A = this chain, B = another copy of it.
Amino acid sequence: MKTSLGELAHHLGCELHGDPSPLMEGVAEPCDAGSQHVAAILTKDRTTALERSHAGALLVAAVLDDPRPQLISNDPRTALARLVRHFCPEEEFERGIHTSAVVAASAEISAAASVGAFCLIEGGAIIEEGARLDPYVYVGRDVRVGAQAWVGVRATLCAGVKVGEGAKVGPGAVIGAQGFGLWREDGRWRRIRSVGGVELGEGAEVGANSCVDAGTLSPTRVGAGVQLDNLVQIGHNAQLGDDVIVCAQSGVAGSASVGRGCELGGQVGIKDHVVLGEGARIGAKSGVIGDVPSGATYSGYPAIPHGQWLRSHATFRRLGRVWRALRRLDG
């Protein structure tokens, strides 16, 4: 795995400032790096960490005043991701079905798929070529796991769920549980049966212990390339467009629609039936109770345009003074 700085610069599309010949063996935080490591300095405040670092080379956005060879990238975050992939590639996984797994006779499992220990695969399920099921994965009736998809330890795919090609489901995630649509019968709350399942798009990723509920009649849809962080809740019938980002502990309530490319901060809540236009951005901890136009940035609860929220908050901090001034005036 030893790679010269010259080769790395070429591989990452970086400019190299300094000697191309030293051989690197890995990438590390500045404080942990040795002479065989590249250390990434992605933000200015990290430069102080450099002085005590034993790193052999640096990855930077612009040349620093430092004698070591420097890989200079105008997109150092991407360069770092590629460096990590270069030095720490995913381990190969074993094809085949672990002897402890329980597989229904009517399930179809590609010979080029991997089914880990203690997996359970129900009837009618289809596991396509190159798909990887980590230990304890539950695959319900008539589930389809697309080619090259990776389903993490202990993920639960309830009946009828479709996992797109190359999608990833994190450890402990629950896809396709019954939705929270309530009605009354004989004096008690009941849940309407959810029979619509879930469709996770191609390359979508779901974080650890997150939940995506089944749709009532048609699928809850999570678009291609969507990124859901940990402990996220997606309600029944919700529709998430492609490339949406949802940070940790956020929730999208039933039947809400989140347009392509939207970005939701952490601990956000979206009310049921609300529509977010394409590319809308929602600040962390906000609660959205009405539609948001395409491209807009909203914050607060109830969420309002971000600039307005900032102005209101600047005054909120001084509300004690506001009250005293008013009493003086209105005496």
Q: Residues of A at under 8 Å CB distance from B?
A: 27-29, 31-32, 40, 43, 77-78, 80-81, 84-85, 88, 90, 100, 102, 117-118, 120, 135-136, 138, 152-154, 156, 158, 170-172, 174, 177-178, 180-185, 188-193, 195, 203, 205, 207-209, 211, 213, 216-218, 224-225, 227, 229-231, 233, 235, 243, 245, 247-249, 251, 253, 266-267, 269, 271, 273, 284-285, 287, 289, 301-302, 304, 308, 311-320, 322-323, 325-326, 328-330
Contact = CB atoms under 8 A, between A and B. Distances in A.
B217 A233 contact: no
A229 B252 CA distance: 13
B229 A231 contact: no
Given A174-B209, A193-B81, A211-B231, A217 B266 contact: no
Contact of A314 (B31, B251, B311, B320): B320
A138 B136 contact: yes
Given A183-B78, A188-B243, A225-B188, A269 B251 contact: no
Contacts of A209: 172, 174, 209, 211, 231
A247 B171 CA distance: 22
Given A77-B192, A174-B209, 19 more contacts: A32-B217, A78-B183, A78-B185, A88-B195, A118-B118, A153-B156, A170-B174, A189-B227, A208-B213, A209-B209, A211-B231, A248-B253, A251-B266, A266-B269, A267-B287, A302-B313, A315-B319, A316-B316, A322-B322
Contact of A315 (B31, B120, B208, B322): B322
A100 B104 CA distance: 13
Given A313-B302, A325-B330, A102 B118 contact: yes
Nearest to A77: B183
Given A120-B118, A230-B180, A319-B316, A330 B330 contact: no
Contacts of A311: 319-320
Contact of A323 (B29, B271, B322): B322
Contacts of A253: 247-248, 266
B177 A174 contact: no
Nearest to A316: B312
Nearest to A184: B78
Given A253-B266, A266-B269, A267-B287, A180 B319 contact: no
